[in-house]
Amino acid sequence: MQALTNRIKHVDRRKMNFLERLYLVAIFKGMLITFSHIFKKRPTINYPEKKRPFSPVFRGLHILNRDEEGRENCTACGLCAVACPAEAITMEAAERQTGEENLYREEKYAAKYEINMLRCIFCGLCEEACPKDAIYLSETFAPADYQRKQFIYKKEELLIPHPIEDPEGYKKALGNKVKKETAN
Amino acid sequence: MLLAIDFALIIEKLVLIVIVVMASLLIAMYATYGERKIAAILQDRRGPNRAGPFGILQPVADGLKLFFKEEIIPDFSSKFLFILGPSLAMMTAIMTSAVVPWGGKVHLFDRDISLQIADVNVGILYVFAVVSMGVYGIMIGGWASNNKYSLMGALRAASQIISYELAMGISIIALLMVTGSLSLKEMVVQQQGSLWNICYQPLGFFIFLICAFAECNRAPFDLAEAESELIGGYHTEYSSMKLGFYLFSEYINMFISSVIMSTLYFGGYDIPFVNEALYDQNLMAILGVLVLMAKVICFIFFFMWVRWTIPRFRYDQLMNLGWRILIPLALFNMLVTGALVLLKQNNWHF
């Protein structure tokens, strides 16, 4: 019969000879293969002690940003909530009172800002929608918890540490966000 | 006189028994750790490394876990036999160590202390008797569970051990023709002066090795607990420390059969290329124990290495190998050895 393609694999159907029927050679070969794995590099890393670096485009938990003086950037415009395909973001706006200029950068601010981390799909559209550079996705991922309501992150969880009171925490939370900005 | 009992001897033997039992328990404990670590290394994984440095405390954690587990005795089981099973498995596993010569003689407190609990002149027969008792633990456990999978596992274990014990016994007969003694101590002393028995009995050793795998219920002969077919085999219904006993006795069996193989074929506590008589007696005795342990560790590694290489046999393949290959091979080995021994006695004249 003529072959249509030249991809036929011929199966060896010869009867096994005495040496092959003993299986000892095959077993010996197998033993050598497993033994050689002793010297192979292990792909596993010791996780909590050693962590693999995230990709620069990794999208983790959200952070609500402050400016250099520690004032919240968010003006509660609601663009992020509109952009959110999972409808995970809710907020309530409030007007800035006199004497609160050191807390909020503009006249309007978010009195309540919640992200439901169980709904969030970490697409990063909120970050893209934000005109005030107030929200961005950091390099940490959502930790486990015991209750569903714990996954609704409020302002306390989302706000970045104060840059003047806790400069180290601020820098850490900012991560390579700075690098991304300067690179552009 | 009946009263002239040598109390020092009794104390000496008691101490030795305690040490040997403790040591075999400890080694079996770390064999479980070794198994997991070796399995991991052979599969490019890391293995236990959380409990203590390098996971050294992992066996302790495992043991504690087993102790704290709920103990379940099934309603329809016969309770006495259900408890007897694992106890018997454990007891027979430990009993074998009684006749093993662990080392030469140590000179302590003006006494020559032999590092062997009992130098029975039918040592190897004793080992055989106790090892074949070991299957009762499995059979009773499997029967008492009142579970079809357990029963199947027990039946498999029984038939497997009967099949492989024959070939093992015949390969030992060939060895006995060479050594002319049943005492394990005597065999080691003979090997100290000359070549190890492996040089005279390579085929016999090979058969013995395969049968030892089968007797220990180790992969590729672990049909008795074939988890993919029989859930857990004979220990399906067992939980808590009773399960622990079964698992533990398997590792002790592995340790003891490694010791027996080293003693019979690899010179036991004989240090290769060293004439023990030339050096300090105590030092040589201790070194001898260490050398024996090194040989044993090599064997245990081999057991594990094979386990992670060869897949389990099918039941008919197992029986085929035992009855139609190993037994004829062992008989052939026995005949050839017998002929050669006779010829040698006849100064190589026909």
Complex ipTM: 0.72
DSSP code of residue B289: H
Q: What is the pLDDT of residue A82?
A: 92
Q: What is the pLDDT of residue A85?
A: 92
Residue A59 has phi, psi (to 5 degrees) of -115, 110
Q: Please state, for a pLDDT cut of 70, what percent of chain A lies above it.
A: 93
The full DSSP string for B148-195 is HHHHHHHHHHHHHHHHHHHHHHHHHHHHHHHH----HHHHHHHHHHS-
**What per-residue string of b and e applies to A25-55 under the rule 16 or more CB within 10 Å gives b?**
eeeeebbeebeeeeeeeeeeeeeeeeeeeee
Instruction: Report whether B170 contacts B199 (CB < 8 A).
Output: no
Residues A144-169 have a mean pLDDT of 84
Q: What is the pLDDT of residue A160?
A: 84
Residues A34-49 have a mean pLDDT of 86
CA distance A150 to chain B (A): 29
Q: How far is CA A72 from the centre of its chain?
A: 24
- Give the pLDDT band (50/70/90) at residue A90: very high
CB contacts, 8 Å: A37 with chain B: 41-44
Contact residues of B toward A, CB < 8 A: 41-46, 49, 305-306, 308-310
Query: Measured between CB atoms, does A2 come within 8 Å of chain B?
Result: no
**pLDDT tens profile B227-264:** 777 777 788 888 888 888 888 888 888 888 898 888 88
Residue to test with chain A: of B42, B207, B298, B321, most A Cβ within 10 A: B42
Strands A62-64 and A135-137: antiparallel
* A102 pLDDT more than 80: yes
Low-confidence ranges of chain B (pLDDT < 50): 1
Query: Measured between CB atoms, does A32 come within 8 Å of chain B?
Result: no
- Give the pLDDT band (50/70/90) at residue A182: very low
Record the pTM: 0.78
* A134 pLDDT more than 70: yes
Q: Which domains does chain A have, with CATH numbers?
A: 62-183 (3.30.70.3270)
**pLDDT tens profile B116-128:** 777 778 888 888 8
Q: What is the pLDDT of residue A183?
A: 40
Other beta carbons within 10 angstroms of residue B120's beta carbon come to: 17
- Give the pLDDT band (50/70/90) at residue A145: confident
* A184 pLDDT more than 60: no
Distance CA A89, CA B20 (A): 68
Q: Cis omega (within 30 of 0) on the bond before B86? A: no
